[in-house]
Amino acid sequence: MTTSASLAVHLREVDRPALAAHFLALGGDDRRLRFGSPISDEAVQAYVERIDFRGDGIFAVHDDGTQIVAAVHVAFTGESAELGLSVLPGHRGLGLGAALFTRAVTHLRNRGAREVFVHCLAENGAMMHLARKHRMGIVHGGSEADARLAVDPPDAFTMYDEWTRDFLGASVQSFARYAAAWSQSPLRYSPSGK
Ligand SMILES: CC(C)(COP(=O)(O)OP(=O)(O)OC[C@H]1O[C@@H](n2cnc3c(N)ncnc32)[C@H](O)[C@@H]1OP(=O)(O)O)[C@@H](O)C(=O)NCCC(=O)NCCS
Protein backbone atom coordinates (compact mmCIF):
# COMPACT_ATOMS: atom_id res chain seq x y z
CA MET A 1 0.00 0.00 0.00
CA THR A 2 1.17 3.51 -0.80
CA THR A 3 1.08 5.03 2.66
CA SER A 4 3.26 8.05 2.00
CA ALA A 5 1.22 11.17 1.44
CA SER A 6 4.23 12.63 -0.37
CA LEU A 7 2.74 10.45 -3.12
CA ALA A 8 -0.60 12.20 -2.91
CA VAL A 9 -2.12 12.68 -6.34
CA HIS A 10 -3.74 15.92 -7.47
CA LEU A 11 -7.11 14.65 -8.67
CA ARG A 12 -8.61 15.63 -12.01
CA GLU A 13 -12.01 15.28 -13.67
CA VAL A 14 -11.17 11.71 -14.68
CA ASP A 15 -10.90 10.78 -10.98
CA ARG A 16 -14.50 11.79 -10.14
CA PRO A 17 -15.82 8.16 -10.00
CA ALA A 18 -12.90 7.05 -7.79
CA LEU A 19 -13.54 9.97 -5.42
CA ALA A 20 -17.25 9.06 -5.25
CA ALA A 21 -16.28 5.45 -4.47
CA HIS A 22 -14.02 6.71 -1.65
CA PHE A 23 -16.80 8.70 0.00
CA LEU A 24 -19.28 5.85 -0.49
CA ALA A 25 -16.84 3.52 1.31
CA LEU A 26 -17.18 5.66 4.46
CA GLY A 27 -19.65 4.26 6.99
CA GLY A 28 -22.63 6.21 8.31
CA ASP A 29 -20.85 7.76 11.30
CA ASP A 30 -17.78 8.73 9.26
CA ARG A 31 -20.01 10.38 6.66
CA ARG A 32 -21.70 12.34 9.44
CA LEU A 33 -18.29 13.49 10.72
CA ARG A 34 -17.02 14.31 7.23
CA PHE A 35 -20.10 16.12 5.92
CA GLY A 36 -21.58 17.39 9.19
CA SER A 37 -24.80 15.36 8.97
CA PRO A 38 -25.92 11.86 7.94
CA ILE A 39 -25.78 11.64 4.17
CA SER A 40 -27.23 9.04 1.77
CA ASP A 41 -25.45 7.44 -1.18
CA GLU A 42 -27.46 9.68 -3.52
CA ALA A 43 -26.43 12.80 -1.62
CA VAL A 44 -22.77 11.68 -1.73
CA GLN A 45 -23.03 11.25 -5.50
CA ALA A 46 -24.66 14.67 -5.85
CA TYR A 47 -21.89 16.25 -3.71
CA VAL A 48 -19.17 14.70 -5.89
CA GLU A 49 -20.99 15.80 -9.07
CA ARG A 50 -20.87 19.41 -7.85
CA ILE A 51 -17.11 19.42 -7.18
CA ASP A 52 -15.25 21.87 -9.38
CA PHE A 53 -12.04 20.00 -10.21
CA ARG A 54 -10.56 23.05 -11.96
CA GLY A 55 -11.15 25.58 -9.20
CA ASP A 56 -10.92 23.41 -6.08
CA GLY A 57 -7.94 21.40 -4.88
CA ILE A 58 -8.46 17.68 -4.34
CA PHE A 59 -5.59 15.40 -3.33
CA ALA A 60 -5.68 11.69 -2.64
CA VAL A 61 -3.59 8.75 -1.57
CA HIS A 62 -4.32 5.46 -3.34
CA ASP A 63 -3.73 1.87 -2.35
CA ASP A 64 -1.64 -0.35 -4.64
CA GLY A 65 -4.42 -0.26 -7.21
CA THR A 66 -6.77 2.57 -8.00
CA GLN A 67 -8.77 2.80 -4.75
CA ILE A 68 -8.57 6.13 -2.93
CA VAL A 69 -7.88 5.49 0.76
CA ALA A 70 -7.49 9.13 1.84
CA ALA A 71 -8.63 12.43 0.34
CA VAL A 72 -8.60 16.12 1.08
CA HIS A 73 -10.81 18.68 -0.67
CA VAL A 74 -10.28 22.43 -0.44
CA ALA A 75 -12.89 24.74 -1.92
CA PHE A 76 -12.36 28.49 -2.21
CA THR A 77 -14.85 30.99 -0.86
CA GLY A 78 -13.21 34.32 -1.68
CA GLU A 79 -9.82 34.53 0.02
CA SER A 80 -10.69 31.70 2.40
CA ALA A 81 -10.91 28.02 1.64
CA GLU A 82 -12.86 25.27 3.37
CA LEU A 83 -11.03 21.99 3.90
CA GLY A 84 -12.55 18.51 4.26
CA LEU A 85 -10.56 15.39 5.07
CA SER A 86 -11.39 11.69 4.96
CA VAL A 87 -9.31 8.58 5.52
CA LEU A 88 -10.76 5.05 5.28
CA PRO A 89 -10.82 3.29 8.68
CA GLY A 90 -8.13 0.70 7.89
CA HIS A 91 -5.65 3.44 6.97
CA ARG A 92 -6.01 5.79 9.93
CA GLY A 93 -3.35 6.71 12.45
CA LEU A 94 -0.61 6.50 9.81
CA GLY A 95 -0.27 10.23 9.31
CA LEU A 96 -2.23 10.39 6.04
CA GLY A 97 -4.70 12.95 7.39
CA ALA A 98 -1.93 15.24 8.67
CA ALA A 99 0.13 14.91 5.49
CA LEU A 100 -2.85 15.64 3.21
CA PHE A 101 -3.67 18.65 5.35
CA THR A 102 -0.14 19.99 4.82
CA ARG A 103 -0.34 19.24 1.09
CA ALA A 104 -3.62 21.15 0.81
CA VAL A 105 -2.23 24.16 2.70
CA THR A 106 0.75 24.34 0.31
CA HIS A 107 -1.71 24.29 -2.61
CA LEU A 108 -3.67 27.13 -1.01
CA ARG A 109 -0.52 29.17 -0.29
CA ASN A 110 0.50 28.93 -3.93
CA ARG A 111 -2.91 30.23 -5.00
CA GLY A 112 -3.00 33.23 -2.70
CA ALA A 113 -5.50 32.00 -0.11
CA ARG A 114 -5.34 33.97 3.13
CA GLU A 115 -7.09 31.50 5.41
CA VAL A 116 -8.15 27.86 5.60
CA PHE A 117 -11.00 26.66 7.78
CA VAL A 118 -12.49 23.35 8.82
CA HIS A 119 -16.07 23.17 10.00
CA CYS A 120 -16.57 20.04 12.07
CA LEU A 121 -18.46 18.46 14.92
CA ALA A 122 -16.94 19.21 18.34
CA GLU A 123 -17.12 15.47 19.18
CA ASN A 124 -14.65 14.74 16.36
CA GLY A 125 -11.61 13.95 18.51
CA ALA A 126 -9.26 13.05 15.65
CA MET A 127 -10.07 16.18 13.61
CA MET A 128 -9.86 18.46 16.66
CA HIS A 129 -6.50 16.91 17.50
CA LEU A 130 -5.26 17.48 13.92
CA ALA A 131 -6.52 21.07 14.02
CA ARG A 132 -4.66 21.81 17.28
CA LYS A 133 -1.54 20.05 16.00
CA HIS A 134 -1.55 22.40 12.99
CA ARG A 135 -2.02 25.40 15.29
CA MET A 136 -5.48 26.23 14.05
CA GLY A 137 -7.54 28.58 16.17
CA ILE A 138 -10.72 26.80 17.29
CA VAL A 139 -14.06 28.45 18.04
CA HIS A 140 -16.71 26.23 19.64
CA GLY A 141 -20.38 26.77 18.96
CA GLY A 142 -22.47 24.14 20.75
CA SER A 143 -22.02 20.74 19.11
CA GLU A 144 -19.98 22.25 16.28
CA ALA A 145 -16.56 23.84 15.97
CA ASP A 146 -14.76 26.07 13.48
CA ALA A 147 -11.00 25.69 13.16
CA ARG A 148 -9.13 28.41 11.28
CA LEU A 149 -5.54 28.94 10.19
CA ALA A 150 -3.96 31.96 8.50
CA VAL A 151 -2.18 30.92 5.31
CA ASP A 152 1.24 32.44 4.62
CA PRO A 153 2.09 33.90 1.21
CA PRO A 154 3.87 31.58 -1.23
CA ASP A 155 7.62 31.52 -1.73
CA ALA A 156 10.03 29.77 -4.09
CA PHE A 157 10.16 26.70 -1.86
CA THR A 158 6.36 26.19 -1.74
CA MET A 159 6.22 26.53 -5.55
CA TYR A 160 9.03 24.02 -6.07
CA ASP A 161 7.63 21.69 -3.39
CA GLU A 162 4.22 21.57 -5.05
CA TRP A 163 5.67 21.06 -8.52
CA THR A 164 7.83 18.12 -7.43
CA ARG A 165 5.03 16.52 -5.40
CA ASP A 166 2.58 16.81 -8.30
CA PHE A 167 5.13 15.29 -10.67
CA LEU A 168 5.99 12.43 -8.31
CA GLY A 169 2.37 11.69 -7.44
CA ALA A 170 1.27 11.65 -11.08
CA SER A 171 4.20 9.41 -12.05
CA VAL A 172 3.43 6.88 -9.32
CA GLN A 173 -0.26 6.86 -10.21
CA SER A 174 0.50 6.29 -13.90
CA PHE A 175 2.77 3.40 -13.01
CA ALA A 176 0.15 1.86 -10.67
CA ARG A 177 -2.53 2.12 -13.39
CA TYR A 178 -0.20 0.58 -15.94
CA ALA A 179 0.71 -2.26 -13.57
CA ALA A 180 -2.98 -2.90 -12.75
CA ALA A 181 -3.89 -2.98 -16.45
CA TRP A 182 -0.94 -5.22 -17.28
CA SER A 183 -1.82 -7.73 -14.55
CA GLN A 184 -5.20 -8.19 -16.31
CA SER A 185 -3.76 -8.32 -19.81
CA PRO A 186 -4.03 -11.55 -21.87
CA LEU A 187 -0.61 -10.65 -23.33
CA ARG A 188 1.04 -11.03 -19.92
CA TYR A 189 3.54 -13.90 -19.81
CA SER A 190 2.58 -16.67 -17.42
CA PRO A 191 4.87 -19.71 -16.99
CA SER A 192 1.87 -21.99 -16.36
CA GLY A 193 0.17 -20.67 -19.50
CA LYS A 194 -2.93 -19.69 -17.45
C1 LIG B 1 -10.07 12.82 10.91
C2 LIG B 1 -9.33 11.84 10.00
C3 LIG B 1 -9.28 12.44 8.59
C4 LIG B 1 -7.90 11.63 10.52
O5 LIG B 1 -7.18 10.84 9.60
P6 LIG B 1 -5.83 10.05 10.01
O7 LIG B 1 -5.16 9.62 8.77
O8 LIG B 1 -6.12 9.02 11.03
O9 LIG B 1 -4.99 11.23 10.68
P10 LIG B 1 -3.48 11.17 11.20
O11 LIG B 1 -3.03 9.74 11.25
O12 LIG B 1 -2.66 12.11 10.41
O13 LIG B 1 -3.60 11.79 12.65
C14 LIG B 1 -4.61 11.39 13.53
C15 LIG B 1 -4.25 11.97 14.90
O16 LIG B 1 -5.45 12.02 15.68
C17 LIG B 1 -5.25 11.28 16.86
N18 LIG B 1 -6.56 10.74 17.21
C19 LIG B 1 -7.23 9.74 16.62
N20 LIG B 1 -8.42 9.58 17.21
C21 LIG B 1 -8.49 10.52 18.18
C22 LIG B 1 -9.49 10.87 19.14
N23 LIG B 1 -10.65 10.21 19.20
N24 LIG B 1 -9.24 11.90 19.97
C25 LIG B 1 -8.07 12.58 19.92
N26 LIG B 1 -7.08 12.30 19.03
C27 LIG B 1 -7.31 11.27 18.18
C28 LIG B 1 -4.21 10.23 16.52
O29 LIG B 1 -3.56 9.75 17.66
C30 LIG B 1 -3.28 11.06 15.64
O31 LIG B 1 -2.48 11.91 16.43
P32 LIG B 1 -0.86 11.89 16.39
O33 LIG B 1 -0.46 11.89 14.95
O34 LIG B 1 -0.47 13.15 17.09
O35 LIG B 1 -0.46 10.64 17.09
C36 LIG B 1 -10.04 10.44 9.97
O37 LIG B 1 -10.20 9.98 11.29
C38 LIG B 1 -11.38 10.45 9.24
O39 LIG B 1 -11.45 10.30 8.03
N40 LIG B 1 -12.50 10.59 10.01
C41 LIG B 1 -13.83 10.58 9.40
C42 LIG B 1 -14.10 11.84 8.58
C43 LIG B 1 -13.80 13.09 9.38
O44 LIG B 1 -14.03 13.17 10.58
N45 LIG B 1 -13.27 14.12 8.69
C46 LIG B 1 -12.90 15.37 9.32
C47 LIG B 1 -13.98 16.39 9.20
S48 LIG B 1 -13.73 17.34 7.74
> What CATH number has the domain bearing residue 44?
3.40.630.30
Residue 53 burial (10 A CB sphere; 0-12, 13-18, 19+): middle
Range of the domain at 152: 5-183
Residue 61 burial (10 A CB sphere; 0-12, 13-18, 19+): buried
Q: Domain count of the chain? A: 1
Q: Report CA(92)–ligand 1 centroid distance (Å).
A: 7
- Domain assignment present for residue 189? The answer is no
- Domain assignment present for residue 192? The answer is no
The residue whose CB lies within 8 Å of the most ligand 1 atoms, and thus the one to mutate among 92, 94, 117, 133, is 92
- Domain assignment present for residue 194? The answer is no
Ligand 1 neighbours, Cβ below 6 Å, are: 30, 33-34, 84-87, 92-98, 118, 120, 124-127, 129-130, 133
Instruction: State how far the Cα of 149 lies from the Cα of 131, in Å rounded to an integer.
Output: 9
Tens-digit pLDDT profile for residues 33-69: 999 999 999 999 999 999 999 999 999 999 877 899 9
Amino acid at 106: T
28 contact partners, CB below 8 Å, separation of at least 6 = 38
- Domain assignment present for residue 188? The answer is no
Instruction: State how far the Cα of 24 lies from the Cα of 62, in Å rounded to an integer.
Output: 15
Q: How many CB atoms lie within 10 A of CB 135?
A: 9
Residue 193 in this model has a pLDDT that exceeds 70 = no
Whole-structure pTM over 0.85, yes or no? Answer: yes
